[in-house]
Amino acid sequence: MLSNLKHLYMNNIYLEIENILKQHRPSALCLITETKGSTPRKTASKMIVFANSEIIGTVGGGAIEKQIIADALQVIENNTPIKKMYQLETDLNMHCGGMMEVYIEPLLQSNNLYIFGAGHVGRALAKFAKDLDFNISFFDWREINFTEEEISDYRFIKGDFFESIEKTIFDVNTFCVILTPSHEFDEQILSILGKKPHAYLGMIGSKRKVEVAKKNLLQSGMYSNEEIARFDMPIGIPISVETPDEIAISILAKLIDVRNSKNKS
């Protein structure tokens, strides 16, 4: 009976992981890999921690679980796995006095790529980015005819840009690309996204459009010159491009550079 309950618990955890990956929820899996002495849970016990500190499962409760949750939140933020040893008595003042080694792994190691505007460049960018471990979401208010392959590969948030943004989760691993058909929309979206957590924020546009956007952001009092300088505009790496595919490749090259540089830091 106990063996059946353990098997059911493990299966439920794995089913939860599958659901989390489908929902693109920032989270981490905590797995006890070794124990010595008296400990509240034993090897192979698992817990999932979400970015809002909610949990599924348990690795022991009390001080040890509180510390592992705190470490898991750092793993989610840094998007990097860790293995850590906890001495229960000396580190956490737990009288059981044993030792637990825990492996903590981010469940979403790929980065969320939010594309605002599902036009030619946006769709070309998604086509290339999907093979490079980006989770792609399109934001657009228009009726767009996507292929069956696109529908299965991407997530779509249809409706007002600004309402959609407020309903969406942003974190330090989020990449945002602004490619709408409207200069006004682009600038307004940039102004809002600049205050959201993100790894990258870029806006398409000519040099003149970018200069106007910078001037307006500065005059609004919301951003300093230093903050504005962190936005990638004109978007992408500076190579000679013409077609939507070429523009998309220049953008993707920049995304890869930012992601890889972030992972090395």
> For residue 225, what are its two tokens?
């010159």
Residue 216 shares a structural domain with residue 94: no
**pLDDT at residue 255 is higher than 70:** yes
**pLDDT at residue 66 is higher than 50:** yes
Q: Which domain holds residue 220?
A: 111-260
Residue 242 shares a structural domain with residue 192: yes
Residue 41 shares a structural domain with residue 130: no
Q: Assess if residue 265 is contained within a domain.
A: no
Residue 136 shares a structural domain with residue 251: yes
Contact partners, residue 192, CB within 8 Å, separation at least 6: 162, 165
Q: How confident is the model at residue 77 (pLDDT cuts 50, 70, 90)?
A: confident
Residue 226 shares a structural domain with residue 160: yes
d(CA 204, CA 31): 43
d(CA 102, CA 112): 27
Look at residue 264 in the predicted model and tell me its pLDDT.
60
Number of domains observed in the structure of the chain: 2
Q: Assess if residue 87 is contained within a domain.
A: yes
Residue 175 shares a structural domain with residue 233: yes
Q: How confident is the model at residue 1 (pLDDT cuts 50, 70, 90)?
A: very low
Torsion of CA 115, 116, 117, 123, to 10 degrees: 0
Residue-by-residue DSSP string for 152-198: HH-EEEES-HHHHHHTS---TTEEEEE--S-HHHHHHHHHHHTTS--
Residue 101 shares a structural domain with residue 157: no
Residue 175's identity, in one-letter code, is: F
Residue 122 shares a structural domain with residue 71: no
Length of the chain: 265
- Tens of pLDDT, residue by residue over 14-40, are 888 888 877 767 899 999 999 998 888
Q: Which residue has the higher pLDDT, 145 or 236?
A: 236
First to last CA, the chain: 48
Q: Assess if residue 155 is contained within a domain.
A: yes
Residue 231 shares a structural domain with residue 177: yes
Q: How confident is the model at residue 263 (pLDDT cuts 50, 70, 90)?
A: low
> For residue 213, what are its two tokens?
């956007």
Residue 131 shares a structural domain with residue 250: yes
- Tens of pLDDT, residue by residue over 149-196, are 888 888 899 999 999 999 998 888 899 999 998 888 899 999 999 999
Domain boundary, last residue among 106, 126, 145? 106
**pLDDT at residue 95 is higher than 70:** no
Quick one: average pLDDT of 55-61? 89
Q: Assess if residue 254 is contained within a domain.
A: yes
Residue 173 shares a structural domain with residue 237: yes
**pLDDT at residue 3 is higher than 70:** no
Number of C-beta neighbours around residue 15 at 10 A: 10
Quick one: average pLDDT of 110-126? 92
Residue 181's identity, in one-letter code, is: P
Look at residue 8 in the predicted model and tell me its pLDDT.
41
Look at residue 187 in the predicted model and tell me its pLDDT.
93
Q: What is the CATH number of the domain that holds 178?
A: 3.40.50.720
Residue 14 shares a structural domain with residue 72: yes
Number of C-beta neighbours around residue 69 at 10 A: 19
Nearest one of 29, 110, 102 to 64, comparing CA atoms: 102
